[in-house]
Structure 1
Amino acid sequence: MNANVLVKGLGRTACVLLVGVLAACGTATVVKPSGGGSATSGTSTTPRTSVPKPGQTAVVRRGDTLYALARIHNITPGDLAAWNGLSQPYTIYPGQALRLYPGGAGSTAATRPISGGSTTTTPSTAAPVATATPVNSGIGWRWPAEGALVGRFVAGETTKQGIDIAGSSGQAVRAAGPGVVVYSGAGLVGYGELIIIKHNDQWLSAYGHNRKRLVNEGQSVRAGDQIAEMGRTGTSRDMLHFEIRYNGKPVDPLLYLPRK
């Protein structure tokens, strides 16, 4: 899946997505709303310099894009991306909390001019999120579906930010942990019918390519509850694309799921 970005505070359940999921999927793009929403700012311009807001965050909602949020908060898109460890295409998720200030030496970004004389920033080389010693999530993760593993996570590769589990049409897709559904829809190119669950302020999980979604935004689920039926929306075979994200960054689900 092509995805690069999740979460602090649920905010409204209406949130935004822009991701290209799966190696088998195409590049994802942000789906902008046709009407109002916080992503609009027709008369505003991209700021040339950033005005950091120490201690403040912005929670992503439906219709938001990184560029729109940058304009609203008077921050360059490059700085906002760098401060949150995001790389192009600057994917953000529903419920994700974006930091509006630099986080220290590890977040330092170098500015460079772009067309029109404005500036943007590029993050310094980002270390992969997944490591040999995974962060303790405190969540009793379980496998979201039965089937063969046909795609693995590769740190730093935008097309492989989760795992792919092959199965059959209509097969049960289950919540990998308890939480609240923060997105249930098909507005994301490449993900097909997608569900995102917020487990706590730091952890989210995403379930793509479903045939049918069985839960709505704002609904609470328990680990093991069926949330969808497996399908092939956005891919060429019946399969589930599954991601786990920590503070908006993808991590290797195999480091957290129980061994088979």
Structure 2
Amino acid sequence: MTNNRISVAHLNAGTAPLSTDPARDVVPRAGYSFSGCCSLLVLCLLGAGCESTPHPAPVMDATVGAQPAGDQSGPSVEAGAQRPTAYIVQKGDTLYSIALNHGINRKELAEWNNIPESGAIHIGQQLSMSAPHAQAGPSLFSLSDSPPPSAPTATRDSGLPSEAKPLANTNKLKTEPRAFKLPYSEQAIAQLKGLTDMPRTVLAKVDPMIEKQTGTVIPPTEVIADPDRIEWIWPTKGKLLEGFSEATKGIDIAGKAGEPVTASAGGKVVYSGAGLRGYGKLIIIKHNNTYLSAYAHNNKLLVKEGQTVVKGQKIGEMGSTDTDLVKLHFEIRKNGKPVDPLKHLPGISG
């Protein structure tokens, strides 16, 4: 009875009675369940740790120079980069490729460098990469507002230092957008043809050492020979269309296309071309260090730069280039300033 009660009690308690057989009851059933739970708990913790480890970031290809296909483009000047002022033509270059690589309009590049419509360039040619500049001055035909430099004039030595006057600054330039043609100035002419040499004032020397009757000795002096002695003639025969004013800076003479245009005085041709805006085919003659004359709107130019001409020599043919009427626009400049030609020409033409 006793054993049966014990068995029933064990059953009611949910446990089995201890066996008297040592081989069967070495490890109690309850002890086995505890160790198994511990093992299971450890495995769960390890698994949770693995699950909480963050995934590594995906590897990105950061190769230098890689970029989306849509962003690829040919060589060009970067935004904000300083564009070179000049470029030397290399083998394989074309006007279009140079303009494209430097972000310049092809037509503007051609205008800046006086390149023909064919776009012909050659290896080693230097191209200007920006619009040419011109000195600020009154319109196109201003042979600079300041007189050209001349040789220093000799004066009587008074023992006092002479006051030196600074030369006018001829380096201040004004941009003319989208145009190659330049205002008419000595600087503009020099840009177009490389003219740099200027004639020097001629000095005449007085007889040395003149002794007055009083016995006073006068030192030798030097005087400037008069450079203004020019006998002008009319450059063509025709009716006077318009007189001189600050706006015209010269006179307009009517005529027919092809009529001769002659040099109003002898001198050297310092410009012959059509690169100065508003004057068409233009000829400029330098007569001395004081005077020059200009002949505009010609239909044909018969003289070249550097050529010496004499008074009355045919230098061109009348036309209407850069104007709407056949005429000759004639100007006389004294020390770079326009003067009224009618005050220098002999009477009325025609």
TM-score tier (shorter): 0.5 to 0.7
The equivalent residue for 1:180 is 268
| TM-score, with length taken from structure 1 | 0.52
1:143 matches 2:225:
no
SS of the equivalent of 2:295 reads strand
Q: 1:136 and 1:142 mapped to 2: Cα distance?
A: 17
Q: 1:195 corresponds to which residue?
A: 283
Partner of 1:92: 185
**Structure 1 residues 91, 233: CA separation in 2 closer, same or farther (over 3 Å shift)?**
closer
Greater share of helix = 2
Write the letter of the residue equivalent to 2:329.
Answer: H
Question: Shift in Å at residue 90 of structure 1?
Answer: 7.4
Distance 2:183 2:326 in 1: 28
Letter in 2 for 1:143: W
Q: Which residue, out of 286, 293, 297, partners 1:209?
A: 297
CA distance in structure 2 between the aligned counterparts of 1:32 and 1:174, rounded to whole angstroms: 32
Q: Secondary structure at the match of 1:201?
A: coil
Q: State the distance in 1 between where 2:277 and 2:320 align.
A: 13
Please name the residue that 1:239 is paired with. Answer: 327
Following superposition, the deviation at residue 234 of structure 1 comes to 1.1
Whichever residue aligns with residue 137 of structure 1, its letter is: D
Deviations 1:41-91 (A, max 9, x none): 9xxxxxxxxxxx955578xxxxxxx6xx227xxxxx8xxxxxxxxxxx975
Unaligned runs of at least 5 residues, structure 2: 1-110, 115-126, 134-163, 175-181, 197-225
| Structure 1 position 202, deviation (Å) | 1.2
| Aligned equivalents of 2:227, 2:251: Cα separation in 1 | 19
- Match for 2:185: what amino acid? I
Separation of aligned partners in 2, 1:226 and 1:253: 19
Q: Using CA pairs below 8 Å that are at least 6 residues apart, which structure has the higher relative contact order? A: 1
Contact between 2:227 and 2:288, CA under 8 Å: does it hold in 1?
no
Residues 207/40 of structure 1: CA separation in 2 closer, same or farther (3 Å cut): closer
Q: 1:136: how far off?
A: 7.8
Q: CA deviation at 1:137?
A: 2.2
- Letter aligned with residue 92 of structure 1: S
CA distance in structure 1 between the aligned counterparts of 2:296 and 2:244, rounded to whole angstroms: 15
- Cα displacement string for residues 161-192 of structure 1 (whole angstroms, at most 9, x for unaligned residues): 00000000000000000000000000112101
CA separation in 1, counterparts of 2:132 and 2:340?
34
Trace 1:81-160 onto structure 2 (pairs within 5 A): 92-93=185-186, 94=189, 137-154=228-245, 156-157=246-247, 160=248
State the alpha-carbon separation in 2 of the partners of residues 32 and 139 from structure 1.
Answer: 38
CA distance in 1, matches of 2:167, 2:252: 36
1:191-226, CA deviations, whole angstroms, 9 ceiling, x for partnerless residues?
Answer: 010000000011110000000000000000000000
Q: Is the alpha carbon distance of 1:227 and 1:90 closer, same or farther for their aligned partners in structure 2, counting shifts above 3 Å?
A: closer
Higher strand share: 1
Gaps in structure 1 of 5+ consecutive residues: 1-30, 42-52, 59-65, 72-76, 78-88, 98-134
After superposition, the Cα gap between the structure-2 partners of 1:149 and 1:247, relative to the gap in structure 1 and judged at 3 Å, is same
Whole-angstrom CA distance in 2 between matches of 1:169 and 1:136: 35
Residue of structure 2 in register with 1:251 after alignment: 339
* AA in 2 matched with 1:70: K
SS in 2 for 1:70: coil
TM-score, with length taken from structure 2: 0.39
1:227–1:91 distance in 2 versus 1, CA, 3 Å: closer
What does residue 312 of structure 2 align with? 224
Aligned residues: 153
The percent of aligned pairs where both chains have the same amino acid is 47
Q: Residues 240, 136 of structure 1: CA spacing in aligned structure 2 closer, same or farther, 3 A cutoff?
A: same
Partner of 2:172: 70
Runs of 4+ in structure 1 deviating by more than 2 angstroms, as ranges, are 31-36, 53-58, 93-97
